[in-house]
Structures are given as C-alpha cells and as structure tokens.
Amino acid sequence: MKHLLHIVLVLIILSTSCTVEDEPAAPQLSGGTWTLESANVQASGTAVIPGTQNAIPVSLTGTGEDYNMTVVFGEDPNTVVAAGNFVFFVEASVGGIPFAEQRFPVQGTDTFAGTWEINEDQLVMVDSDEDRFELEILEFTENRLKVTGMPDVGDFTEFDMEGVTPGEATVEFVLLRQ
C-alpha cells in the first residue's frame, strides 16, 4: 500500500508540473483598423515608338506615397472596407533608363470594398462588382500583414502614359494594425 501511495504521488506531481504549452492563437484580421504602410507595383508592358507602329518592352515601377488609407476587416459577415487614399508614383523605363513618370491617385472605397476570407495562405477579397482579388500572404502577425498578388491590368483605367500599355503586374501591400 505504501508503494502504491508513492506511485500515485509521483504521478500527481508529474501530471501537474509537465503541462503542455498552449500554441499561440492565430492572428486575426478582424477586430481592428489597419493602416497602409507601403504599396509597390512592378509591371511589364510595351511602348510605341513615336512616329512608328513599333512597340518595345518597358518596365513599370510604382511606389506608394502620401499614405492616408485605413482598412477595416469586419467579422460575421467578413466585410472589408478601405477609406482614404494614397498616390502611386509610377516610372516607365526601357533598359533601365527612365522615360516617363506619372502620379496616380488611389481612392479607398473605389478600390477595396467587399468581402474577405483567408484560404490557406491566400487573402481572397471580392468587391461589390464580384471581381475577385487573390493575394498571397507573405507575413501575417497580430500587428502586420504583408501580401502580394497579380492584379488584372484591365483595372489600370487611370493609367495614362501616352503610348505605354501595361502588361503583367505584381503588387505588394504592407498593412499595420493601429
């Protein structure tokens, strides 16, 4: 009996002192306001040589500036609404030599309003026109979200550099929770 009592005491001590650490909770998009910290775009395209019908490949680089945008991810339903604006400064170059630049304003609710879901490593947003935007999640912590994706270049209706036609593009956004 004395031996059994020692075994029970050892088991009780072991069971209370060896607890498994809880895994940290997965970060949540909802429940806060996020601010846009950076926005970048890299694209390829073509430019028509003035006075000819010949097109040459060009590189387009866009960097965000004048950030004044917040994004709110709602929960139940999963809505996403952006408010504010920022400016994309876009530079076109051929062979690394810049030949055109332009600033394009981006207005929040015109660009990012709809629903959202996270599907594995993808942030999927659908706007009010049922256009679907899939962004790969590169980094997601409680206070930082970094995503990248390939937008439909047909969405670049504001792009108006004479003779330049955008092609495939990649965007990257970094949001910080306030």
Residue 2, pLDDT score? 47
Residue 56, pLDDT score? 86
Q: Cα–Cα distance between 57 and 44 in angstroms, integer?
A: 7
Does 17 fall in a domain? no
Q: Cα–Cα distance between 93 and 48 in angstroms, integer?
A: 13
Global pTM reads: 0.78
Does 160 fall in a domain? yes
> Tens place of pLDDT for every residue, the chain, 178 residues?
444 444 444 444 444 444 555 666 677 888 889 999 999 999 888 888 778 888 888 898 999 999 999 999 998 889 999 899 999 999 988 888 888 888 988 887 666 789 999 999 999 999 888 889 999 999 999 999 999 999 876 666 556 666 677 788 899 999 999 9
CATH of the domain at 82: 2.40.128
Q: Cα–Cα distance between 90 and 120 in angstroms, integer?
A: 32
Does 74 fall in a domain? yes
Residue 127, pLDDT score? 87
Task: Determine contact, residues 137/110, Cβ cutoff 8 Å.
Answer: no
Q: Which domain holds residue 40?
A: 28-177
Does 55 fall in a domain? yes
Does 4 fall in a domain? no
Residue 1, pLDDT score? 46
Alpha-carbon distances, residue 97 vs 43, 60, 101 (angstroms):
15, 11, 12
Does 102 fall in a domain? yes
- Which tens digit of pLDDT belongs to each residue from 147-157? 999 987 666 65
Residue 15, pLDDT score? 45
Residue 46, pLDDT score? 84
Does 113 fall in a domain? yes
- Residue 169, H or E segment: strand 164-177
Does 85 fall in a domain? yes
Count the domains in the chain: 1
